[in-house]
């Protein structure tokens, strides 16, 4: 169904959406989408840091006893 939508069809859809919602609402919506993406990226990076911290805390010292006494 959507295989035959070309550039004129996309422009027509964009114009209809702009007329229905107005430029202000669309701009606010895009701003909120940007904030959501930023918050998602921040959450993912914080989650990764938490996992790294947990792994570091649970790491075991596997150095043989002879090596520990030499140091």
pLDDT band for 27, please (50, 70, 90 cuts): confident
| pLDDT attached to residue 4 | 79
21 CB-near residues (< 8 Å, 6+ apart)? 29
Neighbour tally for 26: CB within 10 Å? 14
Q: Which residues of 14-23 are buried (b: 16+ CB within 10 A; e: fewer)?
A: eeeeeeeeee
- The predicted-structure confidence for 41-68, as pLDDT tens digits, reads as follows 999 888 888 877 777 666 666 777 765 5
């Amino acid at each position: 169904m959507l295989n035959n939508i070309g550039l004129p069809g996309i422009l027509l859809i964009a114009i209809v959406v702009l007329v229905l919602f107005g430029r202000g609402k669309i701009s606010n919506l895009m701003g909120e989408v940007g904030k959501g993406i930023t918050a998602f990226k921040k959450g993912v990076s914080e989650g990764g840091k938490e996992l790294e911290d947990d792994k570091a805390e649970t790491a075991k010292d596997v150095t043989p006893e002879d090596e520990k006494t030499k140091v």
